Amino acid sequence: MQRHKFRHIGAPLARKEDLRFLTGHGRYVEDIEIPGALHACFVRSPHPHARIKSIKTEAARKLKGVVAIYTGKDLAQWTAPLRMAPPIEGLLPVEMTTLPIDKVRFHGDPVACVIAQSRYLAEDAAERVEVDYEPLPAVANLAQAVSENSPKVDESLPSNVLSVQRFSTGEVEKQKREAFKVVECEFHQSRLTHLPIETRGLVAVWDEGRQHLTVHIGNQVPHPLRSQVAARMRLSESQVTIVSPDVGGGFGQKIALYREELAVCAAARELKRPVRWREDRMENLMAASHAREDSCRTRAAVTKEGKLLGLELEILEDFGAYCFYPANYLARVVAMIFTGPYKVRDYAFEVKVALTNKCGNGPMRAPMAITSWLAEGTMDAIARELELDPLEVRRANMVETRELPYSMPTGEVIADITPRETLEAAVKAMDHKGFRERQAKAREEGRYPGIGFCSVVESTTYGSKFYKSAGIPGSGHEAAWLRIEPSGAVNASVGLGATGQGYETAFAQVVADGLGVDPSQVRIQMGNTEVAPYGMGSRGARGGTAGGTAIFLAARDANEKVLAIAAKMLGFDSAEGLHLVDGRVEREILGERVKTDITLAQIARTAYLDPTALPAGMAPGLDFSRTYDPPPMTYSNACHACEVEVDAETGALKIIRYVVAEDCGQVLNPIVVEGQQHGAIAMGLSGALLEHMCYDEDGNNITGSLADYLVATSTDLPNFEVIPMHTPSRGNPVGTKGMAEGGVMGAVGVIMSAVNDALAPFGVVADRQPLSPAYLRSLLRGRQL
Amino acid sequence: MLELELKVNGERYAVRAEPRKLLSDVLREDCRLTGTHVGCEHGVCGACTVLVDGRPSRACLIYAVQMQGHDVTTIEAVAKDGELSPLQQALHEAHGLQCGFCTAGIVMTFEAYLKENPHPTEEEVREVLSGNLCRCTGYHNIVRAILRASGATA
């Protein structure tokens, strides 16, 4: 199928899923009524680090309506611990029990699970559980974590440094010695959290007769979660069903099997009664999952003209207290793709990950969010120190289209991307020259506008080969099925987990083109492991390319069989020249398409109800399934540009204009794609401007409410101007490249570029987020012109 | 336990609830009107916004017992006979929702606001919308949808 022939892929269809959400008829976990369900509430540690000396539950048990109280010791009998020990060089194995038994490791760590007849009662009882703690000195920050004689977060480890990985290619040291200059810069990204508006929650239902556990839960990866639940509950995968209906946002927080969720599953089986749990917002902020908190340093050996000769990158990441993921993997991806669209041969990195007494880290929309800031911040620093035009430094180092495919120094191959085109489009859209004139005038008036640019090369879709070569356990494949029912109705499914991406619409469009029907005839069924095939779920920006291709291939298989049956019905020997268009068979005669009388409904009826009329040897039915493992890596690219103004008196930062020129390949649905771009940029800006999960010097979390953990509202964010510059990928049959995380990468980087341009007259450089007024004022204090 | 009589979406509901039970919980659990979502339970995120006597109010900051003698309107009553309101329709067309969890609160806030101010400026829309957190959309398309629904040029 030729790409430009798509009828439905790429059409701006309004979403099918909207109607139920707009009218209050979505089905999120908490909307599912389970008669007789009990409610769980967790008792949490008020200390960052403490030994658990005893847990007294008598007073709590006396309350009417309290059914059970379970501690780490109870749960250890019924569940297996989580051992994180992938065979990765430089990463130490760690293990955790379902709830802590001997000590708590962060402020908010769950120590007991109270089950009662209502959520109100469970909360009352949780307050009456008396835990005797012996507080221990806490590891409250990275500096403490890596210092000698630091207390140990995990006593099974030799130190708090969990992973150290080094890489070097070429001769970086020599380049540094011989370079015109070595430009060094720092980057500090604050600790963030995903903050889905729907917090975590589940209902676990144990069927004693069938010995089967059904878990209703908002989750992005239903099948891998099922495997996890089964393994930790010591059940077979046949005994667990995950139902993940509508999900109120995930952003990476709803991937892992969390300890509270496992405890609720175990309680349901133990009590033989359904148990439900919904965390409150304070728990979500303090104890669900955190992200980021990286301190990085780059060193660029450059020529007088600003050309890169060699690059070094150091990353130190604060991973918190517990590992629900291999701790090296988020930072390692940053180091692997750091050079992005820029050419350099000699490159070395060191990635260190340390444990602290904070909530554990996990991947958050764009786990590699800091990447583009590192690269673009380095470009800006080179320009600043060599007194060059930052755009010229970028142009001098950026890969040219004719040089693609280009192998990054880490061996990562970028192909089918257009970084120069998107950069120039963004420069033009911002009227860069005109801006410089306006800026000069504004500075004379005591106003400080700034402009920034940030090119993004987004690793969207990880194939199994990437995981293998990066030493990360996992598979990048996705699975789909498609069934044409006897009436001709089309059902299809894919193993992803929707959290707002519009799969029911975009994949209906993919099926429509692959099979030859109208999207309105296609129903995408997802979010139930009894229905969906075993796929790896939604993470990264893999849905469109991994899931979309799998479902497209299944639809192509269906198309082939449907047309073979049509040929027989029309009395032809082969299906050559036959097409299915909007559910009707068309025939090519002398290059013209002519409609026949045969419809998909007739073909389906034959396939199911009159199999003897099928071509010789053909099996009855119209049922297709496919798996698809994408290429090692699929990249899309973009250039973000923004204009800001810094108020030197107050430190207030205003975004005047935001533009992104983006090439994410063939789009499935431009409305959905643009929405994803907006959302990603918003999440990046919110983190860069406002968000900061804050622990005090003793390790106490002081951001337990939305009055303390600030996220962007509608008055903090600008409108977004998106310039679509999509060129198809040759790596898969639809031509998609993926997107939805690059917006975060671009926003995080471009805002720093623009702010530092604004601050240039003061001779100061912002190197950390969030860019709060207090922080900007601290840079400017004593620096007034 | 108290015996309460609530009027929600024009219908009468007899409910037995503790005095401390939140309106959001009574609507969801006792009235089985689960379209009102709870996002923060401390009045910041706006997801649980309902109308009390026509005015937007946070159902997580109100006890159900306080609602006797008042008219409560929830998202379930906005579309009439299966037909979306102009605001709902505009949100659909402008892709003003993604995961949909915060959507009910935004619809309720602006169903009321657009009656009060039928032709707001973008700045006014953004100011009012700042009481509702959305983590998916970046607000751009929500603002566009509201302006479209108000008849202003988006």
Sort A497 into a burial class: Cβ within 10 Å, 0-12 / 13-18 / 19+. Answer: buried
How far apart, in Å, are the Cα atoms of A565 and each of A301, A602, A611, A617, A692?
A: 65, 10, 10, 12, 61
The parts of chain A modelled with pLDDT lower than 70 are: 1-4, 784-785
CB B138 to CB A281 under 8 A? no
Chain centroid, CA A489 distance in Å = 33
The HSE-up count of residue A99 (CA atoms within 13 Å, CB side) is: 30
Please report the pLDDT score of residue A4 as a whole number.
53
Structural contact between residues A85 and A323, judged by C-beta atoms closer than 8 angstroms = no
Distance between CA A538 and CA A528 in Å, rounded? 14
User: Which pTM value belongs to this model?
Assistant: 0.97
What is the interface size between A and B, counted as CB pairs within 8 Å? Answer: 171
| Residue A273 vs residues A36, A55, A121, A229: alpha-carbon distances, Å | 8, 25, 17, 18
Q: Which amino acid is at A593?
A: R
pLDDT tens-digit series, residues A330-365: 999 999 999 999 999 999 999 999 999 999 999 999
Nearest CB to A195 within list B93, B99, B135 = B135
As given in the structure block, the two tokens for residue A351 are: 């990635």
Q: A510-529 burial, b for 16+ CB within 10 Å, e for fewer?
A: bbbbbbbbebebbebebbbb
* Inter-residue contact A656 to A488 (CB < 8 Å): no
In 3-state terms, chain A is what percent helix, strand and coil (to 5)? 30, 30, 40
User: Which DSSP state fits A760?
Assistant: G
By Cβ distance, the residue of A21, A251, A683 closest to B103 is A21
> Residue A281, SS3?
helix
Residues 161-190 of A with CB under 8 A from B: none
Strand A653-663 and strand A721-724: the pairing is parallel
Closest CA to A255 of A144, A336, A330, A342: A330
Q: What is the pLDDT of residue A2?
A: 44
CA distance A101 to chain B (A): 30
Q: How many angstroms separate the CA atoms of A421 and A727, rounded?
A: 11
CA atoms within 13 A of residue A615's CA, in its CB half-sphere: 18
Do residue B84 and residue A22 have CB atoms under 8 angstroms apart? yes
B-contacting residues in A 687-706 (Cβ below 8 Å): 705-706
- Both structure tokens of A76: 């250890």
For chain B, say whether A25 makes contact (Cβ under 8 Å): yes
Query: Is A80 near chain B, with CB under 8 Å?
Result: no
> Testing the interface with B: which of A13, A15, A23 to mutate, by most B Cβ within 10 A?
A23
Test A23 with B79 for CB contact under 8 angstroms: yes
Cβ contact A248–B37 (<8 Å): yes
Q: Which of A740, A741, A738, A717 is nearest to A728 (CA)?
A: A738
Q: Is A713 on the interface with B (CB under 8 A)?
A: yes
Contact residues on chain A for B148, CB-CB shorter than 8 A: none
The residues, ordered by sequence, that sit 6+ positions from A29 with a Cβ below 8 Å of its Cβ are A198, A201, A202, A203, A216, A217, A218, A245, A247, A278
Asked whether A326 and A473 are in contact (CB, 8 A), the reply is: yes
Residues 616-675 of A with CB under 8 A from B: 671-672, 674-675
Structure tokens, A764:
């100061």
Distance CA A523, CA A532 (A): 13
Which positions in chain B touch A247 (Cβ < 8 Å)?
99
Annotate A89-106 with b (16+ C-beta within 10 A) or e (fewer). Answer: eebbebebbbbbeebbbb
In chain B, the residue whose alpha carbon lies closest to the alpha carbon of A718 is: B140
pLDDT value at B150 more than 50: yes
Other C-beta atoms closer than 10 Å to the C-beta of A445 total: 7
Return the SS3 of A367. Answer: coil
- Asked if A316 and B76 count as a contact pair (C-beta separation under 8 A), the reply is no
Distance of alpha carbon A184 from its chain centroid, rounded?
30
pLDDT of residue A584: 98
* Cα dist from B32 to A274, B36, B40, B53, whole Å: 19, 10, 20, 20
Query: Which residues of chain A have a CB within 8 Å of the CB of B132?
Result: 714
Hey, is A162 helix, strand or coil? strand
Q: Tell me which chain A residues have a C-beta less than 8 angstroms from the C-beta of B99.
A: 21, 196-198, 246-249, 499-500
Beta bridge partners of A213: A206, A240
A193 touches B at CB < 8 Å: no
DSSP per position, A196-236: -SS--EEEEEEETTTTEEEEEE--S-HHHHHHHHHHHHT--
Residue B25 with chain A: CB contacts under 8 Å = 119
For residues A327 and A163, is the Cβ–Cβ distance under 8 A? yes
Nearest Cβ partner of A24 from B35, B93, B133?
B35
Helix (H) or strand (E) holding A579: strand A578-581
Task: Say if residues A190 and A216 touch (Cβ distance below 8 Å).
Answer: no
Bridge partners of A502, per DSSP, are: none
Q: How far is residue A784 from each of residues A448, A644, A771, measured CA to CA in Å?
A: 12, 19, 19
Q: What is the Cα A496 distance to its own chain's centre? A: 13
